Structure 1
Amino acid sequence: MISRDLGLCQECLRRDVIRKGSIVHHKVEARDDLSLFWDVDNLELACVACHNKEHPERSGGEKKKRTRVNTVKFYANNE
């Protein structure tokens, strides 16, 4: 994965900036879809600044808003 991304931050490259990447980032977070955790196509190299923008809670900022998935809960009755 690091060799595939040539050691460069992929988010910076999308903005035409060349910066060394040092963190492997999941495009789709593991808590959203655990089946993609080891999927190489879901991983990209990111620099610390870009990774902190994606995860502000790790650098002391507010957590990103999570989209709520509609769920139906079933409860047993006493009958």
Structure 2
Amino acid sequence: MNRYRYETNNNTFYHSQAWRTLRRQALERDKHLCQICLQHNELTFADTVHHIKPIRENDSEKLSLENLVTVCRKCHNELHREKPMTLKNKKRRLNNYTNLVKRFTNNKEVW
């Protein structure tokens, strides 16, 4: 097992007021819709907020709205599969989500 993934304790962070506020903002920004399913023209309710760049790799962006994407539980489980991915697949997946966030932050449409 990767000790950086499984021996981290972020409970304090995930129970903080700052995280809860930012999480709510991300959910409202994405209208509680899974952004991955939306790419496949599926409307799926989402209640999970995912860090695009993991906290263990970039602690300075853990409270950055641009580093968050709203996903459904199914997609979140896919993102955090127990089976390790190749480095090539991880980089491709990270690049896809980074591009997705750029698309949403540049969208000035108001409802």
Task: With the length of structure 1 as denominator, give the TM-score of the two structures.
Answer: 0.71
Q: Work out the number of aligned pairs and report it.
A: 63
Aligned pair partner of 1:55 in 80, 88, 100: 80
* Counterpart Cα distance in 1 of 2:33 and 2:64: 19
Q: Which has the higher contact order (CA 8 A, sep 6+)?
A: 1
Runs of 4 or more consecutive aligned structure 1 residues displaced over 2 Å after TM superposition: 63-67
Superposed, 1:35-74 pairs within 5 Å as: 35-57=60-82, 62-64=83-85
Gaps of 5+ in 2: 1-25, 89-111
Could you tell me how far 1:22 is from its partner in structure 2?
1.2
Gaps of 5+ in 1: 68-79
Q: Identity of aligned pairs, percent?
A: 32
* Counterpart Cα distance in 1 of 2:61 and 2:46: 21
